[in-house]
Amino acid sequence: MNEHVSSDSAGGTRPLAFMFPGQGSQEPGMGKALAEAFPAARRVFAEADEALGESLSQLCFEGPAEALARTANTQPAILTCSIAVWTVVTSELGLQPAALLGHSLGEFSALVAAGALSFVDAVKLVRLRGLAMQEAVPAGVGAMAAVMGADPAALEQWCEEASVGGEVVSPANENGGGQIVIAGHAAAVDRVVARAKEGRAKAMKLNVSAPFHCALMQPAAERVAAALADIAIAAPRAPVIANVDAEPYPLTEDPQAVRDRLVRQITGRVRWEASVRTVMRMDISRGLELGHGKVLSNLIKRIDKGFSLVAVGSPADLDVLKLGT
Burial track 40-50 (b if 16+ CB lie within 10 A, e otherwise): bbbebbebbbe
Catalytic residue among 57, 82, 104, 118, which? Answer: 104
Known active-site residue 4 = no
* Residue 46: half-sphere exposure toward Cβ, Cα within 13 Å: 8
Cα atoms in the 13 Å half-sphere on the side-chain side of 231: 27
Rounded CA-CA distance 108/130 in Å is 12
CB 257 within 8 A of CB 249: yes
* From 213, 275, 297, 314, the catalytic residue: 213
Partners of 204 in the β-ladder: 146
Measure the CA–CA gap between 119 and 232, rounded to whole angstroms: 11
Q: Is 314 a catalytic residue?
A: no
All residues at 6 or more sequence positions from 165 whose CB lies less than 8 Å from its CB, including other chains = none
Catalytic residue numbers, as ranges: 104, 213
